Structures are given as structure tokens and as C-alpha cells.
Amino acid sequence: AKAAGRGKHCFYEPSMHSEAADRQLLENDLRQALDRGEMWVAFQPIVRVASEEISGFECLVRWNHQTRGPISPDKFIPLAEECGMIGRIGEFVLQAAIAEAAGWPDNVRIAVNLSPIQFNDPNIVDAVAALLAEHDFEPARLELEITEGVFLADSDATDGTFARLKSLGVRLALDDFGTGYSSLGYLKKAPFDKIKIDQSFVRGAASTTKRNGAIIRAIVSLAESLDMDTTAEGVETHDDLYLIRELGVSQVQGYIFGKPMKAEEARELANSSRVE
């Protein structure tokens, strides 16, 4: 059947067929990745701009494929969302991140990404609550990063989930701000503690046009008037850091302070930030 199929499809782009086949192979491997121990969680420092102290770490999933090596989450997270695997992967990340950070100083936060599909799972609040209880983890040390994608679903259920997560005491961050649909309405609706300014406004902001700086300034003033923190993502250079500081952004995350790193390295950094 395969050979016939190949003959039939010879008028299409040859890459189309192999892309679909490649995707299927990757999906099969993705289904086994957790059981094979191929996934792990990396931690990237988030630093307070004013003091340059570590405020916390974003927890980012990694997949080390047995033959292909590391595969980017930009590639496998969308696949996991489409093939129904994101729930298990997300639960793995939450569990691994909380278990690791439970041993860190309690002034160091962790931020974990929640896919819209996970967020809209009716069991999400109970799952988070159970993990916090199991590891005796202070809820305010956990920040959940959510994108505007969550608002595409049923709004009553979404509102309910926001309220229940807030009453658990966890923090909520609106991720990739500025890249989505009509962000301003969502800011009014949902109880976010933080806005993460997308890298596309941040990277090279100091050297390119004045527009990115103007946008960042506007986001900061909006966040301040709504009593929210801001984190600028993707800060790589001293020039950008300087601009970010001038514009009043409260925290930065970027290669300038550290790439996503293994737990052991993050633990060491977290411990060095201990306030005695």
C-alpha cells in the first residue's frame, strides 16, 4: 500500500509525504519518551533587575530523543497538544519542578508553563493542589505561566479555573504578552500577577528602532497600574539589559544571566541566593 501510495502522490511536493511520515514517527516516539526516561526539566534563572538577585527559575521541558538527540519544545509541545500527550508531559514537569525546588531556599520561586489544554482540563486545580500538598510546597512559590490561548475555550469554565487557582494561592503569569489576540481584555478579566514581555519586543530593542522600547514602556506602565510584575524575556546583551532597566521592567530572563540549566546547577545558584 505504501509503494502504491508513493506512486500516486508523485505530483505532490516530495517533502510533504516525508514530513507527514516523520511526524508520525515522532509522535510514536513521543508516546514512549516519558517511560523511556528521555524527558527532563531545565531551569532558567529569572533575575530582579534592581538588585540582580535571583527571583526564581522558569522550568522548561527537554526531550533527549534516543537517536535524534535533543528536540526543541517548539516542535514537540504542539505535537503533544495535538496527540493528547500534553497532560502527562505537563504533569511530569510540574511534579519534577516542585520536587526539585522543595529543597531550595523558600525565597526562590519556580515558574511552570501550562498548556491551554492542561489549563482547561477540569482536574488541573486538584492536580496542582495535590502536588503542593505532597511536597509541602508553599503555593506562592509556584507561578503558572499561561498564554492567551486559554481564553479561546469556554469562558465560564476558564474564569472558574482562574478563581480556584488564585484561591490555592499560586501566582499566575501571562506569557508571551503582545504576540496574541486582544490581550488587553484578558488582562482585565483574569487575575494575573505578572506579565512576561515577549522576546520579540525585547531582543535587540536597544539597537533597532525606538518602537520596541516604546512598546515595552507601555506594557510596564499598564502592568504597574494593574499592580502586576513584569519580566522581559530574551535579554542577551548589556545594551538590552540597560534599556530594560531604564524602562522600569522588574525582572529579566535571558542568556545574559543564564541559559536553561540542569537541576544540579540551578540548585547551587538557588542556594547561593539564600537569605540568612
Note the residues at the interface with ligand C2E (CB under 6 A): 44, 60-61, 72-74, 77, 90, 93, 113, 115, 175-176, 233-236, 253-255, 260
Q: Name which of 17 and 256 has its Cβ closer to ligand C2E.
A: 256
Q: How far is residue 21's CA from residue 16's CA, in Å, rounded to a whole number?
A: 9
Closest distance between ligand C2E and the C-beta of residue 58, in Å? 6
Q: Name which of 71 and 215 has its Cβ closer to ligand C2E.
A: 71
Task: Give the closest residue to 87 by CA, choosing from 139, 52, 124.
Answer: 124
Q: In this chain, which residue has its C-beta nearest to Ca ion? A: 145
- Contacted entry of ligand C2E, Ca ion, none for residue 115, CB cut-off 5 to 8 Å set by kind: ligand C2E
Closest distance between Ca ion and the C-beta of residue 72, in Å? 11
- Contacted entry of ligand C2E, Ca ion, none for residue 219, CB cut-off 5 to 8 Å set by kind: none
Closest distance between Ca ion and the C-beta of residue 161, in Å? 18
List of residues contacting Ca ion (CB under 5 A): 113, 145, 175-176
Closest distance between ligand C2E and the C-beta of residue 3, in Å? 38
Q: Name which of 17 and 96 has its Cβ closer to ligand C2E.
A: 96
- Contacted entry of Ca ion, ligand C2E, none for residue 94, CB cut-off 5 to 8 Å set by kind: none
Give 187-193's long-range contacts (Cβ < 8 A, gap of 24+).
Answer: 187/222, 187/226, 189/151, 189/159, 190/151, 190/158, 190/159, 190/162, 191/162, 191/163, 191/166, 192/226, 192/228, 193/143, 193/228, 193/229
Contact 248, 218 (CB under 8 A): no
- Contacted entry of ligand C2E, Ca ion, none for residue 74, CB cut-off 5 to 8 Å set by kind: ligand C2E
**Cβ contacts of 140 within 8 Å, gap of 6 or more:** 109, 169, 170, 171
- Contacted entry of ligand C2E, Ca ion, none for residue 191, CB cut-off 5 to 8 Å set by kind: none
Contact 177, 212 (CB under 8 A): no
Closest distance between Ca ion and the C-beta of residue 106, in Å? 22
Q: Name which of 79 and 168 has its Cβ closer to ligand C2E.
A: 79
* Torsion, Cα of 105, 162, 119, 124 (10° steps): 70
Q: How far is residue 120's CA from residue 274's CA, in Å, rounded to a whole number?
A: 36
Q: Which three cell numbers stand for residue 118?
A: 492542561
Closest distance between Ca ion and the C-beta of residue 31, in Å? 24
- Contacted entry of Ca ion, ligand C2E, none for residue 247, CB cut-off 5 to 8 Å set by kind: none
- Contacted entry of Ca ion, ligand C2E, none for residue 276, CB cut-off 5 to 8 Å set by kind: none
Helices 155-168, 124-134: inter-axial angle, 10-degree rounding: 10
Q: Name which of 17 and 149 has its Cβ closer to ligand C2E.
A: 149
Q: Name which of 143 and 176 has its Cβ closer to ligand C2E.
A: 176
**DSSP conformational letter for 11:** G
Closest distance between ligand C2E and the C-beta of residue 121, in Å? 12
Q: How far is residue 205's CA from residue 212's CA, in Å, rounded to a whole number?
A: 6
Length of the chain: 276
H/E stretch holding 229 reads strand 229-233
